[in-house]
Chain A
Amino acid sequence: MKISIASGKGGTGKTTIATSLALSLRNCQFLDCDVEEPNAHIFLKPKFHTTRKVLVNVPLIDNTKCTNCGICSDACEFNALVQLPDHVIFFADLCMSCNACKILCPENAISMIKKEIGELKIGNAKENTLFVNGLLRIGSPRAIPIISAVKDCIDDSKVVILDAPPGNSCPVIETISDTDFCLLVTEPTPFGLWDLKIAVEVAKKLALPTGVIINRYGFGYEEPIEEYCKDENIPILMKIPFDRSIAEAYSEGIPLASHDTEWQKKFRDLYAKIQELVK
Chain B
Amino acid sequence: MFKQLTVISGKGGTGKTTLTASFAYLTQGKAIFADADVDAPDLHLILHPTIISEEELYISKKAVRDEEKCVKCNKCGEVCEFNAISAYDLNHFKCEGCGLCVRICPEKALSMKPILSAKIFESQTRFGPFVHAEMTIGEGTSGRIVDQIRQKARKIAETKKLNFVIVDGSPGIGCPVIASITGVDLACIIVEPTLSGIHDLERIFGVAQHFKVKSVVCINKFDLNITNTNNIIRFCRKNNITVVGKIPFNEIVPKSIIQGKSTFELEENPVSKEIISIWKNIQTELHD
Q: How many interface residues does chain B have, given as a range? A: 35 or more
- A75 touches which of B9, B96, B97, B103 (Cβ 8 Å): B103
Q: Between A and B, how many residue pairs show CB distances below 8 Å?
A: 196
Find out whether the CB atom of A191 lies under 8 angstroms from the CB atom of B45: yes
Q: Footprint of A on B, CB under 8 Å?
A: 9-14, 17, 38-42, 45, 61, 79, 81-82, 93, 96-100, 103-104, 135, 137-143, 170-178, 192-197, 199-200, 203-204, 206-207, 210-211, 221, 224-225, 228, 249, 254-255, 257-258, 260
Instruction: Report whether A138 and B225 are in contact in the complex, using a CB–CB cutoff of 8 Å.
Output: no
Measured between C-beta atoms, what is the minimum distance from B41 to chain A in Å?
A: 8
Report Cα–Cα, A102/B190, bound state, in Å: 43
Q: Which residues of A are found within 8 Å of B41, using beta-carbon distances?
A: 194
**B93: nearest chain-A partner, CB-CB:** A173
| Mask: chain A, 158-181; 1 = CB below 8 Å from B; 0 = not | 000000011111111100010000
Are the CB atoms of A202 and B206 closer together than 8 Å?
Answer: no
Whether the pair B172, A165 counts as a contact (CB closer than 8 A) is yes
Tell me which residues across on chain B come within 8 A of A99, comparing CB atoms: 79, 81, 100
> CB of A39 within 8 A of chain B?
yes
Q: Which residues on B sit within 8 Å (CB–CB) of A10?
A: 9, 11-14, 40, 171
Min distance, Cβ A217 to any Cβ of chain B, angstroms: 12
Which of A22-30, A230-238, A250-258, A271-279 forms contacts with chain B?
Answer: A250-258
Q: Is the CB of B40 within 8 A of A37?
A: no
CB <8 Å contact, B258 and A37:
no
User: Can you add 9 more A-B contacts, CB < 8 Å, to A10-B171, A12-B13?
Assistant: A10-B11, A15-B196, A39-B11, A39-B200, A169-B135, A169-B142, A202-B137, A244-B224, A250-B196
Residues of chain A in range 19-69 having any CB-CB distance to chain B below 8 Å = 34, 36-37, 39, 42, 57
Interface of B, secondary structure class, is loop
Q: Are A191 and B257 in contact (CB under 8 A)?
A: yes
Contacting B42 at CB < 8 Å: which of A9, A75, A248? A9
- Structural contact, B194 and A250, CB atoms closer than 8 A: yes
Known: A10-B13, A98-B98, A201-B137. A39 touches B104 (CB 8 A): no
In the complex, which residue of chain A has the Cβ closest to the Cβ of B94? A177
Contact B17 A167 (CB under 8 A): no
Asked whether A191 lies within 8 Å of B228 as measured between CB atoms, the reply is: no
Residue in B39, B140, B207 whose CB lies within 8 Å of A138: B207
**Does the CB pair B140–A169 fall under 8 Å?**
yes
- Residue picked from B40, B141, B254, most chain A C-beta under 10 Å: B40
Q: Cα distance A140–B197 when bound, in Å?
A: 20
